[in-house]
Amino acid sequence: MEGVDYLRDERSKAQFDVETMKVAWAGSPEAFLVCDRMAKLVANDPVFEKFSKPMLGRKELFKNTLRKTAHAWKLVNDLHLTEEEAKWLRHYIDEPSYTDLQWEMFVPALEGQGTEEQKKKWVPLAKTMQIIGTYAQTELGHGSNVQGLETTATFDRQSDEFVIHSPTLTSSKWWPGGLAKVTTHAIVYARLIIDGHFYGVHGFIVQLRSLEDHSPLPGITLGDIGMKFGHGTYNTMDNGVARFDRVRIPRDQMLMRVSQVTKEGKYMKSNVPRQLGYATMVSVRQTIVSDASKALSRAVCIATRYSAIRRQFGSRDGGPETQVLDYKTQQSRLFPLVASAFAFRFASDWLKLLYTDVKQRLEVNDFSTLPEVHACTAGFKSLTTAATAEGIEECRKLCGGHGYLISSGLPELFAFYVPACTYEGENVVMLLQVARFLVKTVSDLGNKQPVGTAAYLGRASLLVQKNCVVQTAEDWLNPIAILEAFEARAARMAVGCCQRLAEFKSPEEGFAELSSDLAEASLAHCQVIVVSTFIRRLQQDIPGRGVKQALEVLCNVYALFLLHKHQGDFLATGYLTPKQASLANDQLRTLYSKVRPNAIALVDSFNHTDHYLSSVLGRYDGNVYPKLYEAALKDPLNDSDIADGIHQYVQPILKQKLHSSKL
C-alpha cells in the first residue's frame, strides 16, 4: 500500500542515531546540507525523471540529456548556485553529459596548464559556457601511454601557427566525451614538432565547431564512436572521434605554463616546476575514490533493503519464509560491501586533506612527499574502483532474479560504473606504479626513512620477524592487532618481491617477470592504507548515539573480511598461524550478527533519494512488489495484447502455414 513503510520494523531496530550518521557519512553538517538540498532539488523536478531512459533510442536519449543539461545550467544561474552546489546538482542528475568534461577536465586543464594570459582569455569564456570544451588525449590506437600518441602539432614559423594533424587512422582522437556533437573546443594532446625535431607531447586549444552554426570547422572530421555498455549510462554522452587534416591554430593556443615555443620556434621550459600537475592528479583521484564510495553505497542500499523485504525458504508451519537478510551467506557477501562503502568514504575524506597538504608543499617547492602521494593515490584508485565494480555486481546477484531487471537499478549502475576500472589509469597498470614505488622504498631503506602512508615500511626489518600474538577471537577486535597484521603481511610481500627481483639479470626483466606478484604486493600495501585510514578516523571524536560503535563494527568487518579473503598472503608470509586466521573468521561471523540490526539504518545513512537510486528493489518504503508490477507495465511491449510481429511471424507457425508465408 502507498504511504506504508514496510521497513519500519527494521528501522526501529537501529542501535544508533541515523541523522548523526548521515552527517558522519557526508563529512560535515555543511556538506550534508548541500548534498541533501541538491538531491531533493533534482528528485522533485520532473525534468530530471530517469525511469524512461532504457526505453529511449540513442537519439532521443541524447537529446533528452541535452535538455536536462540546459535545464540544470538554467537552475545554476537562476538559483545562483555556487560551484560546489552546481557540482552536486550535476552529480544527482546522474547522467553523463558534456558539462562533466567542461568542469572536470577542460576548465582544470586551462587553469593548470595555461599561462596567466591564457587563463585570462579562456577561463571566463569556459566558465560562462560561451565555449564548451573537452579533453582530447586518447586515440583509437593509444590509451594509457601518452608518449605513444601519434597526433602531431608542427610549428610553422612563417605563419606563427601550429598545424594539428592526424597522420594515421590510429591517431584519430577517440573517446573524449562531448567531442562528437557538442563541444566547440578541445584541448588536443599532440606531439610537438619543430624543424623536424620532437619536443614531447603537449596540449593545444583547438576550436572544433563554428560558434555561429555549430558546424565542424574545415579540416576537422567529427563523429560519435557508437553505443557503449548499458542503456542510459554513457550513451547519454556523445563520446567522439576527431580527425584533423592539417588544421592551423595560432601559436598562443599551445598551453604554455610549463613549456613555451617562441615565435622564432625556440622550445623553452619555464621555471614552473613540472610537479605542479600532481595536485590536479590528487584531486582527480580523490573524486574517483569518493565516486567509488557513492556507487557502492547505492548498490548496497538497494541490496540491503531488498534483502529485508525478500523472503525465501525457512517457513515453519506455513508461516512467512525467512528474510533473506537473515541468512549468514547473504550477510557474509553483503555486509563487507556495506563496510567497504564506509571505508572508501573515509579514504576519500582523507584524500581531501592530502590534497591540501600537497598543494601547500608545492607552493614552497617541497616535492619530498610526491612519490609517496603518487603511489598512495594510484593504489587507492585501483583498490576502490576494482572493489566497487565487483561489489555492484555482487549486490545485483544478491537480489536474485529481479536484480536482472533494469527496474532494479543495478544493471545500469554496473554498466555506468565499470569504466572507472579502466579510465584515469588502468587498475593493474596503477598497481604496477605502486610496485615501482614499493621496490624503490624497500631498496632505499638503509638510506631513507619512508614517509606518510609508507612510513610503516621503515619498520620492515621488525615486521618481517614479529609474529601475530592473537590468541582469542576477541583479540581480533583490537585495531592494533589488525593494523600490525596488515602491515606485516604487506611489508613481507614487498621485501619478498625485492629479494626475488635481485635474482634476475636486469631489474627490468625481473620486474616484467614478477609483475603479477608485484601487483599482489601493491594491493597488500593499499589495503594497509585503507584499513589504517578507517582506524584513524575512529580515533577522532564522532558524535551521536551509537554512531561510533556502529562504525567500529564496520571497520572490523572490513579488515577481517579482507584478512579472510587474502588469508593466503597472511599465511604464506608466516605472520599468522592457521589457528589465528581461523579465529579472525570466527570473529567476523560474530560481527555480522552485530551489523544485522543496524543494516537498514546504515544504508539509510547514505541519505539516497529514491530518484537517485532509481531502483524499485531499493525503495525507501520497501513497497517492492506492487511497484515492480507497475514498472513492468510501462514497457512498450505492453502497449497491446497482441504484439507487433505475432500475426506475421508466429501465427503462420501455429497454423502450419509457414511454408507459404513471406518472412
Q: How many residues does the chain have?
A: 663
Q: Distance between CA atoms of 123 and 108, rounded to whole angstroms?
A: 9
Contact status: 193 vs a copy of itself (CB under 8 A): no
Q: Is 138 annotated as a binding residue?
A: yes
Contact with a copy of itself (CB under 8 A) among 103, 229, 367, 504: 229
Contact between 180 and 239 (Cβ < 8 Å): yes
Nearer to a copy of itself, 347 or 430 (CB): 430
656 binds a copy of itself (CB under 8 A): yes
Q: What does residue 237 show for φ and ψ, rounded to 5 degrees?
A: -110, 145
Touching a copy of itself, residues 430-469 (CB under 8 A): 432
Figure out which of the listed residues 33, 79, 480, 646 binds a copy of itself, where binding follows CB under 8 A. 646
What is the separation of C-alpha 357 from the centre of its chain, rounded to a whole number of angstroms?
A: 23
- Of the candidate spans 31-39, 246-254, 473-481, 655-663, the one that interacts with a copy of itself by CB under 8 A turns out to be 655-663
Residue ranges in 137-166 that form contacts with a copy of itself under rule CB under 8 A: 138, 140-145, 147-148
The region, left, alpha or beta by phi > 0 then psi within -120 to 50, assigned to residue 221 is: beta
Which C-beta is closer to a copy of itself: that of 32 or that of 229?
Answer: 229
Other Cβ atoms less than 10 A from the Cβ of 657: the count is 10
Query: In angstroms, what is the minimal distance from the CB of 544 to a copy of itself?
Result: 31
Q: Is 197 in the site for a copy of itself (CB under 8 A)?
A: no
d(CA 197, CA 577): 60
Total of residues contacting a copy of itself (CB under 8 A): 143
Residue 632 within binding range of a copy of itself, rule CB under 8 A: yes
Residue number with CB closer to a copy of itself (32 or 327): 327
* CA distance from start to end of the chain: 47
Given candidates 270, 461, 465, 648, which one binds a copy of itself under the rule CB under 8 A? 648
- Which uninterrupted H or E stretch holds 190? strand 185-194
Cβ proximity to a copy of itself, 139 vs 161, nearer residue: 139
Contact positions with a copy of itself (CB under 8 A) in 48-77: 54-55, 57-59, 62-63, 66-67, 69-71, 73-74, 77
What is the C-alpha R_g of the chain? 27
Q: Catalytic: 321?
A: no
- Residue 327, interface with a copy of itself (CB under 8 A)? yes
Quick note: the x/- pattern for a copy of itself over 84-123, rule CB under 8 A, is ----------------------------------------
DSSP-derived 3-state class of residue 451: coil
Tell me if 343 sits within 8 A of 290, measured CB to CB: no
Q: Residue 54: how many CB atoms within 10 A of its CB?
A: 15
Identify residues 594-613 at the interface with a copy of itself (CB under 8 A). none
Residue 126 near residue 107 (C-beta atoms within 8 A): yes
From residue 347, alpha-carbon distances to 294, 410, 571 in Å are: 12, 24, 27
Residues in 366-425 at the binding interface with a copy of itself, rule: CB under 8 A: 389, 393, 396-397, 400-401, 403-407, 411, 415, 418-419, 421-423
Touching a copy of itself, residues 168-187 (CB under 8 A): 169-170, 172, 175, 180-182, 184
Separation between Cα atoms, residue 608 and residue 391, nearest integer Å: 18
CA nearest neighbour of 43 among 618, 610, 624: 610
Interacting residues with a copy of itself between 495 and 534 (CB under 8 A):
512-517, 519
φ, ψ dihedrals at 70, nearest 5°: -65, -45
Selected catalytic residue, list 139, 161, 372, 424: 424
DSSP-assigned beta bridge partners for residue 190? 202
Kind plus residue range of the DSSP H or E element containing 23 = helix 18-26
How far is residue 271's CA from residue 72's CA, in Å, rounded to a whole number?
41
The nearer residue to a copy of itself, 30 or 644, going by C-beta atoms, is: 644
Amino acid at 46: P
Count of C-beta atoms within a 10 Å radius of residue 355: 21
Whether residue 577 is annotated as binding a ligand: the answer is no
Cell numbers standing for residue 543: 558524535
Q: Which helix (H) or strand (E) holds 200?
A: strand 197-207
Nearer to a copy of itself, 333 or 545 (CB): 333
247 near a copy of itself (CB under 8 A): no
Q: Which is nearer to a copy of itself, 78 or 264 (CB)?
A: 78
Residues 307-326 that bind a copy of itself (CB under 8 A): 311-313, 315, 321
* Contact range with a copy of itself by CB under 8 A, out of 207-215, 253-261, 285-293, 481-489: 207-215
With CB under 8 A as the contact rule, the residue among 7, 132, 187, 261 that binds a copy of itself is 132
Q: Does 207 participate in binding a copy of itself (rule CB under 8 A)?
A: no
* Torsion region of 103: left, alpha or beta (phi above 0 gives left; psi -120 to 50 gives alpha): alpha
Whichever of 19 and 426 has its CB closer to a copy of itself, that residue is 426
Query: Given candidates 275, 280, 332, 443, which one binds a copy of itself under the rule CB under 8 A?
Result: 332
What's the CA gap between 310 and 323, in Å, rounded? 6
Active site residues: 424
Q: Annotated binding residues, as ranges? A: 138, 177
Q: Annotated binding residues for FAD, as ranges? A: 138, 177
